[in-house]
Amino acid sequence: MTFQPVLPWPILAVVAGALVLARVVALRQVLLSAGRRRGRAVLRWSGVTLAVLLLIAATTRPALLGNQTGQGAKAAAGANLNVFLVVDRSADEQRFAGMRDDIAALSKQYPAARYALIGFASKASLDWPLSEDVWSLRPTIATLGSQDATSSANAGAADNVLRYQLIQATQQYPGSRNVVLYFGCGAPGSRAPQGDFNLMRGSVAGGAVLGYGNGDAIDEVELHRLAAQLGVPYVHRQLSQAFQVGLPDTPDSRGDAADRTELYWLPALLAAGLLLAEIYLSVREFRRGRIARRDLAA
């Protein structure tokens, strides 16, 4: 079993400790105010406390690894890799659908990598911060839409956001490698001045600039220029071709990479059941209290 917590372990430990301490303080209040119903009150306190502990367990993202050998599980493809997806949202819907499909294929090919999503048209924004939560990223990518900004698109608009994210990733994950995958068409037909990528030397370990479209729908000269600035190759994508981009730790073609079977849903489901039971009991007590007060007033 492996764990990929949604927060760094030290932060998660502090949060868990604070929640457990809060529940201990709540127990003291329960014992002081329960009176004759102390046993029932302690039982309800135990249920809520167990739900809190189960939610903490769910945030550690436990999982089982498949494809294990006698010497232990192989490292999953993309382990300790920071993949930055720089996506041109000014492309038309057909080309944008191709970008979405390629990103989905990439996330399946490198399931253990951390991913960040930077979208841009005339300006750039961080649409998904660097995270190992690939399961939540996939529906985000599936609903990502294009923007009607062809005349004002800037193919280099993501420079500042990308540079800051690369620096932050290097500091947050020492020893990891940064990969940049640029999905775009080079802003053909744009009347806006085109920006440049000015990244720190050595901050990008690999990746590619992927071009989508044909004829007037793509500016390959601009894409080649951006690829040279990023220090990665340019690849012209055809939607009929299978998506294959060689990243620094290309997965073994024999499929030795370990598949994760996520188990976080199990403690989360149990916690939901306990909390629903507590909500039901609280609502019932509230209604009984209102009825009792109404009878006294009558």
The pLDDT tens digits along the chain (298 residues) read: 788 888 888 888 898 899 889 888 888 887 777 666 777 888 888 889 999 999 999 999 888 876 544 444 345 676 789 999 999 988 777 888 888 889 988 988 888 899 999 999 889 999 999 998 888 888 888 888 777 666 788 999 999 999 999 999 988 888 889 999 999 999 888 888 889 999 988 899 999 999 998 888 889 999 999 999 999 999 998 877 777 777 775 444 334 444 668 888 999 999 999 999 989 988 888 887 776 666 666 5
Q: Which two tokens stand for residue 39?
A: 């046993």
Element at 177 (helix H, strand E)? strand 177-184
What DSSP string describes 16-46?
HHHHHHHHHHHHHHHHHH-GGGHHHHHHHHH
Question: What's the length of the chain?
Answer: 298
Instruction: Give the whole-angstrom CA distance, residue 27 versus residue 292.
Output: 27
SS3 call for 186: coil
Q: Which two tokens stand for residue 252?
A: 């073994």
Burial of 252 (0-12, 13-18, 19+ CB in 10 A): exposed
Pairing of strands 234-237, 206-212: parallel
- CA triple 53-57-58, angle to 5 deg: 120
Residues 6 or more apart in contact with residue 297 via CB below 8 angstroms? none
CATH T-level assignment (fold) for domain 81-237: Rossmann fold (3.40.50)
Query: Is the pTM higher than 0.75?
Result: no
In 3D space, the residue among 178, 252, 5, 213 whose CA is nearest the CA of residue 93 turns out to be: 213
The domain spans of the chain are 2-66+261-297, 81-237
Element at 190 (helix H, strand E)? none
